Structure 1
Amino acid sequence: MSLPTSFPDRMPWGFVSALSLTQLVSYGSIFYAFALFIEPMGQELGWSKSALTAAYSLALASSALSAFPVGRLIDRGHGRAVMTGGSVLAAVLLAFWSRIESYPVFVLIWIGLGISMSAVFYEPGFAVLARRLGARLARRGITVMTLVGGFASTVFIPLTHLLIDAFGWRGALLGLAAFNLGICALFHAIAIPPLARPKPGIAPTGAPSAAGNPRHLLRNPSFWCFVATSIAQGMISTGIPLHLIPLLIERGFSLDAAVAAFTVIGPAQVAARLAMAVGERSVSIWTLGILTMLFSVLAFALLPFIPPGSWLIAVFAALYGASNGMVTIVRALLPPELFGRENYGAIQGMIAMPVRIAMATTPFAFGALWAWWGSYGIVLAVLLALALCSLACFMLNLAFARRVRT
């Protein structure tokens, strides 16, 4: 495996800004915009919401299966080809989607978009950043990337809504395809360095324990603790967007109050990431991780006891939003400390595989639990259990790390 032989002394802001912008566009146009196409597509084509969302779930599954090979390619220096190719693939598939008439073809398009997700979302972006910046600057670069990417829904949900109003859903998809081709593919091709080969006589560097194939981590209990933490937090972050508003309405909140609470989550997410950026030199990643998991536990321990109309619902939303904003950065920065800096992309892919599969099943599972129990009471219990599980597994990881150091 080839590694860069030197890292920049100063932050290359052009490179970081370009990758951050592409994250905003990729997440906004592929991940968040989908919800706005469900209604017009259902009306024109007669497809049910469950059929449409099933294709989306299959995309998350295909993304999970392709995460590891994508990470290996980035570790071998092919980050430019992977991310540029992923954006071109997204653009082509969005254009095909705009002409869709057949449901099986629609499913195939979304399976392909899942592969594109694995090549352009946070995990490959983190791997490319870490490879380019090195350990000293990677934390700041990743924080900036997630800070900018956190505005994806804020920008692209209203933008996609305007495009659908102006050009119809098929025309809007062509517009999103143009964003992926004209911004993401172009910036990936220009900003990401080409394949770097080691100079003669210079051996690759990195943690010896992580050298070679990273599958040896499958025998490491610390790895599975980290995966369990990531799965629990991933399920929470996928289930809440779809179920929070009906959950609050069922508990007696008005629609306006539920929507207002939901809107607090985004700013809290961004504020937490800003705080992490400001305090990056004074707070360890372990401390940030503990705070992340604690905020999640506090949020879901508080939620069942909030009476309708209480201002405490904003406290819940702020705690959950802060936790959700911080966990992305913790998941990016902690693996090198736990498992070494070699094979960063492949390790992120190994973690992403089970996480994305769990995320793909969560919306349906929460809905099934609601139907079985007859209310969201059981879902609230599961959310708290997931938060507690993430905290417990994170603390186990901390114990493993201290044992290794001593």
Structure 2
Amino acid sequence: MSRPDRMPWGFVAALSVTQLVSYGTLFYAFALLIEPMERDLGWSKSALTAAYSLALVSSAFFAVPVGRLIDRGYGRAVMTGGSVLAAILLAFWSQVGDYALFLLIWIGLGASMSAVLYEPGFAVLALRLGFQARRGITVMTLIGGFASTVFIPLTHVLIEAYGWRGSLLLLAALNLVICAALHVVSIPKAAARPARRSEPEPSAARSDPRRVLSKPSFWCFVAMSVFQGFISTGLPIHLIPLLAERGFSLESAVIAYSVIGPAQVAARFATGFGERALSLRAIGVVTMAMSTLGFGLLPFIPAGSWLLIVFALLYGASNGMLTIVRALLPQELFGREDYGAIQGMIAMPVRLAQSAAPFAFGAIWAWWGSYQAVTILCFVMALGSFIAFVLNLVVAKDS
């Protein structure tokens, strides 16, 4: 970057496009591939979704080493390698007929996710952009937020035209031709440290990411992230049946669900480009308050009420703002050094919680006999995330 005050928009746009494709092919396409695979191979939905959960567990264990490699300047190799690995494994998946091999492929795809999704992308952006990272990350999440909008219909069209095996080969090609190529071209071979505003050189002690493990504020931030990650992964799968059980029509449930995505995008835009209005810490408090308010409201919304849209707006906006808070606030709380490794340390328990959430929500529904307990759990976790975040700010201020 020749001028520290000039945003390298080409670099930001390239990484944003790779997020769109990576999330679309590795995260969203799976939902459309379940039914044709079940029909063709005879594997149950639970067996297929178990492989996806295994990938989230795998990605959790690769998160910290990937972050450390990015901190050391290997972002280009990490993200390019992750995209190449994704392409190879998607191609193998297209030929799979053995369930044990299918599980191994998804363990590998978990490693690929840890190298190409938001956390590594945030780390590469933060290393290159420094204090300009807020706008870069906002653009990345805005473009990445359209992954489901683009790839759910695209994957459906591909399956209809080429079958699930042919579709996977085409999705593999996208990872190679778009993602790997853009990572090679756009990410510097050894990412240079951004220009800093009269910051002292970090001491050797500060360069160790394990220093945050002794900070209560770190564990409060992790608790908040785990609670929100559990909700954001478990609830979308169960939201429509939850609303149907409460007496809402399918049309009302679908309309409410469709509001969540635009609310996320609008909130990310407002968060990223409204930095002069609110600090990141204040935005975090608002984010947790909106989540708590939404889940506090949900049990009291009668069937057919327009208040369901209010819940969807609160939930979607909170999710959208949380992405940026989780990306940027760790720098403010724990320093810019070792940002990638610290993000990996936060991502590890979050991914483990996300891998368990869909099954946990289903088990709670089966045990309770209704979604009432799930609704209560979401409120308790949203309230817990609010308390943990406020405590995080208090102890961070005192430390």
TM-score bracket, shorter-length normalisation: over 0.9
TM-score w.r.t. structure 1 length? Answer: 0.95
Q: Which residue of 2 aligns with 1:24?
A: 20
The amino acid that maps onto 1:53 is: T
Aligned partner of 2:186 among 176, 179, 191: 191
- Structure 1 residue 213: Cα displacement: 2.3
Q: Which residue of 2 aligns with 1:239?
A: 234
The amino acid that maps onto 2:71 is: D
- Structure 1 residue 7: Cα displacement: 7.0
Aligned partner of 1:39 among 10, 35, 38: 35
Moved more, 279-288 or 109-118: 279-288
Give yes or no for contact 1:210–1:343 (8 Å, CA) kept in 2.
no
Moved more, 208-217 or 112-121: 208-217
Q: Which residue of 1 aligns with 2:116?
A: 120
Aligned partner of 2:140 among 137, 145, 163: 145
- Structure 1 residue 210: Cα displacement: 6.2
- Structure 1 residue 195: Cα displacement: 1.4
The amino acid that maps onto 2:40 is: E
For residues 208 and 7 of structure 1, what CA distance do their matches in structure 2 show?
Answer: 27
Q: Which residue of 1 aligns with 2:81?
A: 85
Give yes or no for contact 2:128–2:192 (8 Å, CA) kept in 1.
no
Q: Deviations over 1:144-163 (max 9, x none)?
A: 11111111111110110111
Aligned partner of 1:313 among 308, 311, 335: 308
Aligned partner of 1:107 among 103, 108, 127: 103
For residues 241 and 156 of structure 1, what CA distance do their matches in structure 2 show?
Answer: 17
Q: Which residue of 2 aligns with 1:384?
A: 379
- Structure 1 residue 274: Cα displacement: 1.3
Q: Deviations over 1:280-329 (max 9, x none)?
A: 22210011101110110011001111111111111100100000011010
For residues 270 and 218 of structure 2, what CA distance do their matches in structure 1 show?
Answer: 28
Q: Does 1:15 align with 2:35?
A: no
1:185-224 to 2 correspondences below 5 Å: 185-196=180-191, 207-208=202-203, 211-224=206-219
Q: Secondary structure of 1:297's partner?
A: helix
TM-aligned CA distance change 1:207 to 1:268, over 3 Å: farther
Q: Which residue of 1 aligns with 2:52?
A: 56
Unaligned stretches of 5+ residues in structure 2: 194-198
Aligned partner of 2:332 among 331, 334, 337: 337
The amino acid that maps onto 1:385 is: V
Q: Which residue of 2 aligns with 1:201?
A: none
Q: Secondary structure of 2:207's partner?
A: coil
For residues 202 and 22 of structure 2, what CA distance do their matches in structure 1 show?
Answer: 32
Aligned partner of 2:71 among 75, 78, 81: 75
Segments of 4+ moved more than 6 angstroms: none
Q: Secondary structure of 1:194's partner?
A: coil
Q: Secondary structure of 1:33's partner?
A: helix
- Structure 1 residue 263: Cα displacement: 0.4
For residues 381 and 207 of structure 1, what CA distance do their matches in structure 2 show?
Answer: 45
Q: Which residue of 1 aligns with 2:196?
A: none
For residues 220 and 360 of structure 1, what CA distance do their matches in structure 2 show?
Answer: 26
For residues 252 and 39 of structure 2, what CA distance do their matches in structure 1 show?
Answer: 29
Q: Deviations over 1:359-395 (max 9, x none)?
A: 1001101110000000000000100001001000100
1:389-400 to 2 correspondences below 5 Å: 389-400=384-395
- Structure 1 residue 214: Cα displacement: 1.2
After superposition, the CA RMSD in angstroms is: 1.5
TM-score w.r.t. structure 2 length? Answer: 0.96
The amino acid that maps onto 1:296 is: S
Q: Which residue of 2 aligns with 1:95?
A: 91
Q: Does 1:354 align with 2:319?
A: no
Q: Deviations over 1:77-126 (max 9, x none)?
A: 00000000000000110011111100000000000000000000000000
The amino acid that maps onto 1:35 is: A
- Structure 1 residue 270: Cα displacement: 0.5
TM-aligned CA distance change 1:99 to 1:307, over 3 Å: same
For residues 210 and 381 of structure 1, what CA distance do their matches in structure 2 show?
Answer: 43
Give yes or no for contact 2:128–2:191 (8 Å, CA) kept in 1.
no
Q: Deviations over 1:191-245 (max 9, x none)?
A: 00011578xxxxx965548623211221211110000000011001001110100
For residues 238 and 163 of structure 2, what CA distance do their matches in structure 1 show?
Answer: 28
- Structure 1 residue 401: Cα displacement: 2.6
For residues 32 and 208 of structure 1, what CA distance do their matches in structure 2 show?
Answer: 42
Unaligned stretches of 5+ residues in structure 1: 199-203
Give yes or no for contact 1:60–1:360 (8 Å, CA) kept in 2.
yes
Q: Secondary structure of 1:211's partner?
A: helix
For residues 276 and 401 of structure 1, what CA distance do their matches in structure 2 show?
Answer: 22
For residues 351 and 44 of structure 2, what CA distance do their matches in structure 1 show?
Answer: 24
Identity %: 70
Moved more, 49-58 or 392-401: 392-401
Moved more, 83-92 or 250-259: 250-259
Give yes or no for contact 1:207–1:341 (8 Å, CA) kept in 2.
no
1:281-292 to 2 correspondences below 5 Å: 281-292=276-287
